[in-house]
Amino acid sequence: MKANYSVRSRKFAVSLLISRRAFWTTVFFALITIALAIVSTGMGEMKISPAEVLKALLGIGSPQSALVITTLRLPRILVALLVGGAFGAAGAIMQAIVRNPLASPDILGVTGGASVTAVAFITIFQSASIFLLPFAAFAGAILIAFVLYLFGWKRGLGSFRLVMIGIGLKALTGALVTIFIVLAPQILTSKAMIWLTGSIYGTSWTDVSLILPWFLILLALASICARHANILQLGEEIALGVGSRLSRNQLCLMLICVGLTGAAVAIGGAIGFVALLAPHIARQLVGPSFGSILPVSVIAGSFIVLGGDLIARTAFAPLDVPVGAITSAIGAPFFIYLLYKNRGR
């Protein structure tokens, strides 16, 4: 028995090496998440048993529960999975490039940037197609990434300084979001509010179709780039030494990361700390190889948002708490712990 599974192509420059343990951990974790998704679909105002949910999904359930599940519950569950997965992947990529355990798109303000342009897009171009929304969010995220690059990149990525710059950028983007919310007509205010905390309340199949292509394409690209990310994780000198085209690879991975963040923010708003937590969980479970971290981080992200959303909509029923409030309540203490652990770097 081999200790590793490898995916290689003779034609294209693709190589993924996944250890047996990591592979089975991933499968196991994925199954748990799917189970949670099924249970979660059944939870709510109208309780539906997991077996009934499965039946409804297969098209043999009672028409009543099938209606509730397919039109109301399922899109929200899928959005939770996709948004969480996108945040998880973005976090994993960000930490691979930046090599700073405190870095993640939300801590560094990239999520905030995406929120600003998303809110601006909604308030200014009220009649524009909603399918352009991810592009708007993407533009904002890129802008913040560029500012980060300008201020932090070349003078040492690993330091706390990048995090400090991120804190400032977050405050700035928060102020800008508030401006757009104040300027927005009354009916849009509640819609725009979700970008402050992050919520997947009232999502529909449109939202699923909005984020799905971004998620799939960018995740495929990220897998293709996995070998570059692995080398980048070793540090810039070593990466250069083994012949990696450093700047190009950094830029590619960064664009993927920013794209995933933008897509996730466009649907779910700035759901805090998911992108920070997921890669840390993944690293604990499967070790440092990026090929294994990426899928586990995606699953972990999905799991967090799904679980957080389940708590958010059931614990305070009939009210719907924004999922971002739940994830921040978990994530912020973890951030403090990370600070504590990484001091002196």
Partner 1 sequence: MTSLPTNQLWKWFGLFAGILAILCLFLASIVWGVMNTNWQTVMDAYLHFNGSNEQIVIKDVRLPRALIATAVGISLGICGALLQALSRNALADVEILGLNSGASLAVVVAMIFFGVSSLAQFTWIAFAGVAVTGVLIYVIAASGREGLTPLTLTLAGAAMAALASSITYGLLTVNQQTLDEVLFWLTGSVSGRKLEYLQAVFPYMASGWLLTLMLAKPVHTLMMGDEIATSLGQNTRLVKIMSGLAIVLLTGSAVAVAGPIGFVGLVTPHLARRLVGPGLFWQFLYSAMLGAILLLTADIGARFLAYPTELPIGVVTALIGAPFFVILAGKGSEKR
Given the rule CB under 8 A, which residues bind partner 1?
A: 102, 147, 151-152, 155, 159-161, 163-165, 167-169, 171-172, 174-176, 178-179, 182-183, 196-197, 272-273, 316, 319-322, 324-326, 328-329, 331-333, 335-336, 339-340, 343-344
Give, in degrees to the nearest 5, the angle at Cα 201 between 282 and 111. 50
Dist. CA 73–CA 155, nearest whole Å: 47
Measured from the CB of residue 343, what is the shortest distance to partner 1 in angstroms?
A: 5
Nearer to partner 1, 30 or 165 (CB): 165
Measured from the CB of residue 275, what is the shortest distance to partner 1 in angstroms?
A: 13
Nearer to partner 1, 51 or 171 (CB): 171
DSSP conformation letters of 64-81: HHHHIIIIIIHHHHHHHH
Nearer to partner 1, 22 or 163 (CB): 163
Measured from the CB of residue 311, what is the shortest distance to partner 1 in angstroms?
A: 11
φ and ψ at 4, to 5 degrees? -130, 145
Q: How far is CA 342 from CA 76, 100, 338, in A?
A: 36, 10, 6
Give, in degrees to the nearest 5, the angle at Cα 23 between 19 and 28. 150
Dist. CA 262–CA 272, nearest whole Å: 14
Q: What stretch of H or E contains 16? A: strand 15-19
Q: Are 85 and 97 in contact (CB under 8 A)?
A: no
Q: What stretch of H or E contains 19? A: strand 15-19
Measured from the CB of residue 176, what is the shortest distance to partner 1 in angstroms?
A: 8
Measured from the CB of residue 326, what is the shortest distance to partner 1 in angstroms?
A: 7
Measured from the CB of residue 68, what is the shortest distance to partner 1 in angstroms?
A: 24
Nearer to partner 1, 222 or 323 (CB): 323
Measured from the CB of residue 156, what is the shortest distance to partner 1 in angstroms?
A: 8
Dist. CA 205–CA 215, nearest whole Å: 15
Distance from the first to the final alpha carbon of the chain:
40
For 271, half-sphere exposure in the C-beta direction (CA atoms, 13 angstrom radius) is: 41
Measured from the CB of residue 168, what is the shortest distance to partner 1 in angstroms?
A: 4
Nearer to partner 1, 131 or 160 (CB): 160
Nearer to partner 1, 44 or 50 (CB): 44
Dist. CA 344–CA 206, nearest whole Å: 47
Token couple for 204: 């529909």
Measured from the CB of residue 202, what is the shortest distance to partner 1 in angstroms?
A: 13
Residue 247: partners with Cβ closer than 8 Å, 6 or more residues away = none
Nearer to partner 1, 163 or 285 (CB): 163
Dist. CA 88–CA 177, nearest whole Å: 24
Dist. CA 11–CA 118, nearest whole Å: 40
